[in-house]
Amino acid sequence: MLSRFLFLAVAASCVVVCSGCAGTGAAGRANVAAQGIAPDDAALHPNRNTPFMLPGETPRLIPRATALDAENAGPCDPDVLSVEEISGDANGIFRSVKLAFMNRGAMPCRLGGYPGIALVSAEGENIGSISMEKVSSAQVVAEFGNTHAAAAGGPAPTVTLMPHAVAAFEVVWTTGTECLRAARILVTAPGTKRTFAIPQPLRICPGRIQVTELRLDEGDV
């Protein structure tokens, strides 16, 4: 009787031990499998807290531009520039729009002078009956304020654009119900050939379109 009891106890112990071994083995195989695919799968699931992730690269900081960089800045590459509308104004038949170039590069660059301006119709045709006149910002203020224009201040200055800094200018024209329709303003940065198209539906009377020089601006583009 005693021997039979011992036999049953030993058998039960084996069942418990074997069951535990089977469970541990399954969990172990699952853990090994998960660890085995982790290195290959990690690239598909970048850290959500990282600012950006490029193929084959790790996140990195771009050094802040210094005063020495600004002093040695070269002409702006048109590929790092963008053009946006900042504001507009009206006074009687006069209309104006303030546009700005932004340096979206990582380093300072220089830009100055008068941008090139052309007008395009809704059909995509250049409006050639308009000539561009270079004027000063003071002249535009006088036109819109009905005051005497200040004397010209000499050649347009060259400005240094730090990263994300803005150089603005104004385009001024006269309007009327019988005047030509334009759909876009084409803008070319001084000293470059790249053209930026700005949607700007307007009516412009044949004659001239005034453009001011580039100046640093606090506008947000």
Could you tell me which residue, 24 or 157, shows the higher pLDDT? 157
Confidence (pTM): 0.65
Question: Which of 16-30, 66-80, 139-153, 201-215 shows the highest mean pLDDT?
Answer: 201-215
Spatial separation of the C-alpha atoms in residues 101 and 71, rounded to whole Å: 20
Number of domains in the chain: 2
- CATH number of the CATH domain containing 211: 2.60.40
54 and 90 share one domain: no
Q: Please give the pLDDT value at position 30.
A: 41
* Same-domain pairing of 200 and 105: yes
| Pairwise pLDDT comparison (142 vs 62), residue with the higher score | 142
Q: Is residue 193 part of a domain?
A: yes
User: Are residues 206 and 104 part of one domain?
Assistant: yes
Q: Are 164 and 182 contacting, i.e. CB atoms less than 8 angstroms apart?
A: no
Q: How far is CA 78 from the centre of its chain?
A: 13
- Answer yes or no: is 67 within a domain: no
The pLDDT of residue 191 is above 80: yes
Q: In terms of pLDDT, which residue wins out, 97 or 46? A: 97
Q: What whole-number distance in Å separates Cα of residue 156 and Cα of residue 143? A: 19
Residue-wise pLDDT for 10-69, tens only, equals: 455 544 444 444 444 444 444 433 333 333 333 333 344 444 444 555 665 666 777 787
Instruction: Give yes or no for residue 155 having a pLDDT over 80.
Output: no
Question: Is 152's pLDDT higher than 80?
Answer: no
Name the residue range of residue 194's domain.
Answer: 77-217
Residue 68 lies in a domain: no
- Examine the domain organization and report whether 97 and 9 are in the same domain: no
On whether residue 186 sits in a domain, the answer given is yes
